[in-house]
């Protein structure tokens, strides 16, 4: 049975202008792998995120995310696991959904601060806007 297009999220998703992330593969051993390019963070909640990657990621794959946003005073480092990955029909890239792992004290506080400052709710980023933004990164 495939995805029916329904929203199964339990937490509300938010988006922030100019927020981005990089990832490293490998979970706890992520420091052994190079960081990805910087990608726009499309939306996030306290339990997960959605972003676009030029690389296909496999469901179940462990990642270490580094989330950046103008409102942060630092970078949030978050363990995550890929829950889904689909090829985009709009651009030569993949749409990726991840579920966050257990957050440490500082990362938990920074994520809460980021959620508190999320002023743009349920943004849909068009292909044209995404391509313009990614050129700036």
* CATH number, position 129: 2.40.10.220
3 located within any domain: no
5 located within any domain: no
Q: Please give the residue range of the domain that contains residue 46.
A: 14-136
Structure tokens at 82: 């890929």
121 located within any domain: yes
pLDDT surpasses 90 at 103: no
4 located within any domain: no
- Predicted local distance difference test score (pLDDT) of residue 99: 96
* DSSP assigned state of 122: S
pLDDT surpasses 70 at 91: yes
- Predicted local distance difference test score (pLDDT) of residue 8: 53
Question: Cβ atoms within 10 A of the Cβ of 4, count?
Answer: 6
Domains held by the chain: number: 1
Q: Highest mean pLDDT: which of 39-43, 83-87, 114-118?
A: 83-87
- Predicted local distance difference test score (pLDDT) of residue 70: 80
- pLDDT single digits (tens) 39-79: 988 888 888 999 989 999 999 999 999 998 887 777 889 99
SS3 124: coil
Q: What are phi and psi of 18, to 5 degrees?
A: 65, 20
Distance CA 79, CA 65 (A): 6
The whole model's pTM is what?
0.76
Distance CA 63, CA 25 (A): 5
- pLDDT single digits (tens) 1-50: 344 444 454 567 777 777 889 999 986 777 788 899 999 888 888 889 99
């Amino acid at each position: 049975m495939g995805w029916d297009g329904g929203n199964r999220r339990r937490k509300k998703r938010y988006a922030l202008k100019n927020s981005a992330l990089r990832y490293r593969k490998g979970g706890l051993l992520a420091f052994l792998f190079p960081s990805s390019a910087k990608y726009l963070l499309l939306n996030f909640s306290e339990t997960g995120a959605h972003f676009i990657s030029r690389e296909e990621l496999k469901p179940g794959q462990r990642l270490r995310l580094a989330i950046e946003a103008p409102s942060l005073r630092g970078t949030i480092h978050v363990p995550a696991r890929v829950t889904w990955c689909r090829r985009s029909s709009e651009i030569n890239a993949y749409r990726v959904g991840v579920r966050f792992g257990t957050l440490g004290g500082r990362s938990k506080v920074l994520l809460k601060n980021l959620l508190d400052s999320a002023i743009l709710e349920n943004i849909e980023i068009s292909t044209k806007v995404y391509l313009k933004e990614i050129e700036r990164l």
